[in-house]
């Protein structure tokens, strides 16, 4: 079901034994939903070693969006959707940030120092952008172009997960949140309504984060042509195992289809 056929940009950052920066699950899926995972992986290129951080940090929210890879796979299966996911840790480069922004390669993340990012040269930054950021966004753009050529509708669904509490911060009460801002937010709002109809769920509207100029992926791929979209945040303790991921895939399948029917109506 998965394909690693996206061409890798040759750069000194990645070597032959490193995995492709992009994985496309269920290529050719006929659903209108194009599911994307900016932070689905936590791999570090071999050339960077451990980036001078503890190996345990790679399992934390600072390194990736916990549970998104499994959730995206389950949604692809349930919806016959294409799922495009990024392989490498957001500590290497955050693909939901403008490549030139300081926080695309953070020197500190939720209080944890990332020494390998403290003094990056312009050449270091360019290598990460060319090897990971560019091919990931090219894969999304190419998939959208293919669908447009073939007359296949596209609704972008960006999957993210959030920690139950930031370091030293209060517990977050939401089970999930729907983020939206510019372009055409009508689908995101319809999805928010559908999720709030689910029993026992606390669903935030632009919570726990507000979608703004910091986000990169949806503003790049959805806003200019006013494509329908939604950015979904799910609390990470609810996606910590396969059972939780399957449960949320079922919830999202139901709500995504309901929101899509609302748009068609």
Amino acid 3: pLDDT: 52
Number of domains, the chain: 1
- Residue-wise pLDDT for 200-228, tens only, equals 999 999 999 989 889 999 999 999 999 99
pLDDT of 7 above 70: no
Q: How confident is the model at residue 265 (pLDDT cuts 50, 70, 90)?
A: low
**Domain encompassing residue 28:** 2-264
The dihedral through the CA atoms of 157, 163, 167, 173 has a sign that is positive
The CATH code of the domain that includes 81 is: 3.40.630.40
Return phi, psi of residue 167, to 5°.
-55, 120
Give the C-alpha distances (Å, rounded to integers) separating 44 from 21, 41, 51, 164, 171. Answer: 10, 9, 8, 25, 30
Look at residues 33, 29, 30, 27 and name the one whose alpha carbon lies nearest to residue 253: 33
Give the C-alpha distances (Å, rounded to integers) separating 23 from 2, 20, 137, 184, 250. Answer: 7, 7, 12, 27, 23
Amino acid 260: pLDDT: 97
Residue 121: CB atoms within 10 Å: 8
Q: How confident is the model at residue 8 (pLDDT cuts 50, 70, 90)?
A: very low
11: Cβ–Cβ under 8 A, 6 or more apart, which residues? 127, 130, 131
Return phi, psi of residue 47, to 5°.
-65, -20
- Please give the structure tokens belonging to residue 232: 């979904």
> Are 174 and 208 contacting, i.e. CB atoms less than 8 angstroms apart?
yes
**pTM above 0.95?**
no
Percent helix / strand / coil, the chain, rounded to 5: 35, 15, 45
- Residue-wise pLDDT for 26-39, tens only, equals 999 999 999 999 99
Burial of 194 (C-beta count, 10 Å sphere; 0-12/13-18/19+): buried
| Percent share of the chain, pLDDT over 90 | 89
- Residue-wise pLDDT for 83-129, tens only, equals 999 999 999 999 999 999 999 999 999 999 999 999 999 999 999 99
Alpha-carbon distance of 143 to 31, in angstroms, equals 13
Amino acid 76: pLDDT: 98
Amino acid 166: pLDDT: 82
Amino acid 262: pLDDT: 87
- Residue-wise pLDDT for 251-260, tens only, equals 999 999 999 9
> Are 1 and 82 contacting, i.e. CB atoms less than 8 angstroms apart?
no
Across 135-163, average pLDDT: 98
> Are 230 and 158 contacting, i.e. CB atoms less than 8 angstroms apart?
yes
Q: How confident is the model at residue 150 (pLDDT cuts 50, 70, 90)?
A: very high
- Burial code of 37-62, b = ≥16 C-beta within 10 A, e = fewer? bbbbbbbbbeebeebebeeebbebbb
Mean pLDDT, the chain, whole residue set: 94
């Amino acid at each position: 079901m998965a394909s690693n056929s996206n061409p890798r940009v040759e750069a000194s950052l990645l070597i032959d034994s490193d995995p492709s920066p992009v994985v496309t699950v269920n290529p050719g899926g006929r659903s209108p939903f194009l599911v994307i995972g900016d932070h689905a992986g936590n791999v570090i290129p071999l050339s960077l070693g451990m980036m001078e951080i503890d190996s345990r940090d790679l399992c934390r929210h600072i390194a990736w969006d916990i549970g998104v890879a499994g959730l995206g796979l389950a949604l692809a299966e349930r919806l016959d959707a294409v799922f495009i996911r990024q392989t490498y840790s957001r500590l290497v480069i955050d693909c939901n940030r403008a490549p030139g922004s300081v926080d695309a390669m953070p020197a500190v993340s939720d209080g944890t120092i990332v020494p390998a990012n403290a003094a990056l040269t312009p050449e270091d930054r360019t290598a990460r952008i060319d090897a990971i950021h560019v091919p990931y966004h090219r894969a999304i753009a190419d998939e959208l172009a293919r669908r447009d050529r073939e007359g296949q509708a596209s609704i972008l669904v960006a999957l993210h997960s959030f920690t139950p509490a930031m370091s030293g911060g209060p517990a977050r009460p939401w089970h999930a949140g729907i983020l939206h801002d510019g372009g055409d937010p009508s689908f995101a709002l319809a999805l928010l309504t559908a999720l709030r109809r689910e029993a026992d769920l606390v669903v935030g509207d632009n919570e726990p984060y507000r979608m703004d100029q910091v986000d990169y992926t949806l503003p790049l791929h959805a806003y200019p042509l006013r494509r329908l979209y939604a950015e979904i945040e799910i609390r990470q303790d609810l996606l910590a195992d396969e059972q939780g991921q399957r449960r949320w895939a079922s919830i999202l399948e139901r709500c995504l289809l309901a929101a899509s029917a609302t748009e068609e109506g």
